[in-house]
Amino acid sequence: MIITVTKPIEEIMTNLEGYKKVFVVGCAACATKCQTGGEEAVNNMIKELKKKNKTVTGSVILDTPCDIRIAKRDLAKSREANESDVILVLACGAGVQAAEKVIEKPVLPALNPLFVGTTERIGVYNEFCSVCGECILDKTAGICPVSRCPKGLINGPCGGVVDGKCETDLTKDCVWVLILNKLKKLGKEQEIFKDYFSPKKRAKPKVVNRAGERR
Amino acid sequence: MNKLCKAIVDNRFIITAELYPPKGTDIAELMRRADIIGPLVDGVNITDNQRASMRLASIAICHLIKDKGYTPILQMTCRDRNRIALQSDLLSAYVLGIENVLILSGDHPAVGEYKEIKGVYDLDPVQLLTTARTLESGFDLSGKKLKGTPKFCLGAVVNPTSNPLELQLLMMEKKVKAGAQFFQTQTIFDVERYRQFHDQVKHLNVKVLAGVTLLKSREFIGFLKNLPGVSIPEDVVKRVEAAKDPLKEGIKICGETIRELKKFADGVHIMAIGAEDLIPEILKNA
Ligand code: SF4
Ligand code: SF4
């Protein structure tokens, strides 16, 4: 999912300067999981806004605010939202922009989206996918070097591996050591480095169809 | 054929050393050092924004020392340039008469002066080696035909002290397949351990130059220990620490190491890190 953190409240309040009536939008998907955009987070935000003398006209937690159809159905038609000066969105950037598309009001982000990752527990998130568009997990024992090696080295490790740890942070495992160990466990270690990976396509179309093609 | 290529073909013990471009435009000191080591070695590596810090470009210094009659080895990292810039620099190097290129991933920005920048890493070292060979075939990565083709002597790096070593050995093989003709290693101090490594990679039929570093002071040992992938055996540390003149002891150790390596290794790569003036003395001791 998309890992998000809440922006400092001071930054949010600075952005809200000049607006009185605020409508708050939450996210029932990723941001709920991160506890940055679910019911509790929305209620806390409303409390903060009221403390700072803002009028909260209402709030809604959209199932998936990044789905423009849902934003259209549940946000665009909301009377409270349309009577507000500004929409504050507790979702990732895609959620904020879906709101922008469906309502003629200024929209503001309340979160900083970090990456696509996994949750170990609340507050421990790993960047495990950089959405590169050409997944190679089938060749790397299900462990992603594109996102988990700080240099994104896909043909194998650098020379900075120290006792299995990464040269950029000796408290973190070198992803290539993890891949080797996993392949060994699976009895497939002879497969490591078997393939040459040619340079990755870094450019992806900005609007795609179901097949991932430009449209 | 330049001096390094010739040494590789002639199958003799190869000596290379390393110089670091300055931060700024004053190259007097660097050129003075080049004059000291240039005539003594088969190739002089010029580092590429080493330790992820901003420096004068390697290619400019390579050109200047080439003009003086020395043999440059252009270090090229994957950190700061995308594939357009990397290919363009490879062609530029060639027209400046620089054929020896050492390809490496490059220290990550996280360990350097610009911790918050985006490292490029558009190509990895295996891909960059392949790219250089592609250019030699008369085409660029987009498949377009080149007007005039370059020719390189390509090197890569390997760390014989890295654990698990297995990964380094396999990587080395992959780099050889991609076109690496010689390797320079991370600093080693334990010659016996290096001998084992040497035997393990013999079958690859490439020249491997063992990295050696002058332990010039007690403080310097502390600095070295903090570099990625460097390990210094305790008895060596003790020798320098117990010595009345640590620098003299360091020179002795370095000389001894090279002398031992001469018995079986393909060559050495001397990283004197600021003490290049002492390289003649080290070599005399060796
Ligand atoms: S290879 Fe890594 S970054 Fe690319 S899609 Fe797969 S998990 Fe994501
Ligand atoms: S040590 Fe491993 S994870 Fe870290 S940069 Fe090198 S290859 Fe990548």
Q: Is residue A101 part of a domain?
A: yes
Q: Is residue A203 part of a domain?
A: no
B225 touches chain A (CB under 8 A): no
Q: Is residue A145 part of a domain?
A: yes
Q: Kindly indicate the confidence band of residue B227, based on its pLDDT and cuts at 50, 70 and 90.
A: confident
The minimum CA-CA distance between B246 and chain A, rounded to whole Å, is: 27
Q: Percent of chain B at pLDDT above 70?
A: 100
DSSP code of residue B139: B
Quick one: how far is CA A84 from the chain centroid?
27
A140 plus A171 within the same structural domain: yes
Q: Assess: ipTM above 0.90.
A: yes
A108 plus A26 within the same structural domain: yes
d(CA B123, CA B15): 29
Rounded to a whole number, what is the largest CA-CA distance in chain A? 65
A168 touches chain B (CB under 8 A): yes
- A62 vs A49, A93, B43, B265, CA distance in Å? 20, 14, 65, 67
Q: Percent of chain A at pLDDT above 70?
A: 100
A6 plus A108 within the same structural domain: yes
Q: Is residue A202 part of a domain?
A: no
Q: Which of A161, A170, A193 for mutating ligand 2's site (highest number of atoms within 8 Å of CB)? A: A161
- Answer yes or no: is pLDDT of B225 > 90: no
Q: With an 8 Å Cβ cutoff, are B158 and A158 in contact?
A: no
**pLDDT per residue as tens digits for the range A42-84:** 999 999 999 999 999 999 999 999 999 999 999 999 999 999 9
- A18 vs A15, A47, A87, CA distance in Å? 8, 19, 13
A77 plus A144 within the same structural domain: no
The pLDDT value given to residue B131: 98
List CB contacts (< 8 A) between B50 and chain A.
none
A190 plus A147 within the same structural domain: yes
A100 plus A16 within the same structural domain: yes
d(CA B156, CA B127): 12
A82 plus A37 within the same structural domain: yes
Q: Which domain holds residue A12?
A: 2-114
The minimum CA-CA distance between A86 and chain B, rounded to whole Å, is: 33
Cα within 13 Å of Cα(B210), Cβ side: 28
A178 touches chain B (CB under 8 A): no
The minimum CA-CA distance between B104 and chain A, rounded to whole Å, is: 8
Q: Is residue A201 part of a domain?
A: no
Say yes or no: CB of residue A135 within 6 Å of ligand 1: yes
A107 plus A41 within the same structural domain: yes
A–B: how many Cβ contacts below 8 A?
101
Q: With an 8 Å Cβ cutoff, are A160 and B229 in contact?
A: yes
Report, as an integer, the average pLDDT of B202-227.
92
- Structural domains of chain B ordered from first start: 3-285 (3.20.20.220)
**pLDDT per residue as tens digits for the range B95-120:** 999 999 999 999 999 999 999 999 99
Which CATH number is A84's domain given? 3.40.50.2300
A87 plus A37 within the same structural domain: yes
Indicate the burial class of A89 (C-beta count within 10 angstroms; 0-12, 13-18, 19 or more).
buried
A95 plus A157 within the same structural domain: no
**Which residue, judged by its Cα, is nearest atom 7 of ligand 1?**
A129
A99 plus A162 within the same structural domain: no
Q: Is residue A91 part of a domain?
A: yes
Q: Domain total for chain A?
A: 2
For residues A145 and A195, the model is more confident at A145
Q: Is residue A199 part of a domain?
A: no
Contact between B102 and B74 under an 8 Å Cβ cutoff? The reply is: yes
Mean pLDDT of chain A: 96
Q: Kindly indicate the confidence band of residue B285, based on its pLDDT and cuts at 50, 70 and 90.
A: confident
Q: Is residue A207 part of a domain?
A: no
Structure tokens at B268: 């050495």
A9 plus A64 within the same structural domain: yes
| SS3 track for A79-126 | HHHHCCCEEEECCCHHHHHHHHHHCCCCEEECEEEEEEEEEEECCEEE
Model pTM score = 0.94
Structure tokens at B196: 């084992």
